[in-house]
Amino acid sequence: MNEIEKNLENLGITLDAGPEPMANYVSVQKAGDIWFFSGAGPFENGKPAVFGRLGENMTTEEGYDAARLAGINLLAILKRELGGDWNRLEQIIKIQGFVNSASDYFEQPAVINGVSDLLVEVLGDRGRHARTAVGANVLPFRIPLEVEMIIKVKY
């Protein structure tokens, strides 16, 4: 068993095939060895599983957990697109987090840490990345956050 699969097992994470696009877009746009992932949210079984706005009806800790779930979805899509071959992943380059926030909420980075921490726990140094964490007035389906990812793969 490879190290990434061991890390997932130790964390109690089972990756399914990951969510499919919900409209006219693709999950991943591949530009050579750089891949751009569409936004992923806290979904389970293909449906939004967490709803709310940070600083209004959700705490930072609840947001962190929702971001972790979004990160699990990104990892599931990544595994699918890699054909299960984690050795093809060279590096997570950047994640971009959009947090559905009340106007006086300023802890977006602490929320998006849920994804960042997960990526490093699972992928080690290949999971370290640049990052953006910003507030948004509203997100689709009333989800609390959405996260995009850019990676580099080996051919």
Tens digits of per-residue pLDDT, 18-44?
A: 888 989 999 999 999 999 999 999 999
% of the chain residues with pLDDT over 70: 99
Please give the average per-residue pLDDT across 68-85, as a whole number. Answer: 97
Q: How confident is the model at residue 68 (pLDDT cuts 50, 70, 90)?
A: very high
Q: pLDDT tens digit string along 107-131? A: 999 999 999 999 999 999 999 999 9
Q: How confident is the model at residue 1 (pLDDT cuts 50, 70, 90)?
A: low
The predicted model scores a pTM of 0.96
> Sheet of 89-100: strands edge to edge?
28-31, 34-40, 145-153, 89-100, 130-136
Q: Hey, is 48 helix, strand or coil?
A: strand
* Cα 83 to Cα 67: distance, rounded to the nearest angstrom: 24
Q: The domain at 3-10+31-153 falls in which architecture? A: 2-Layer Sandwich (3.30)
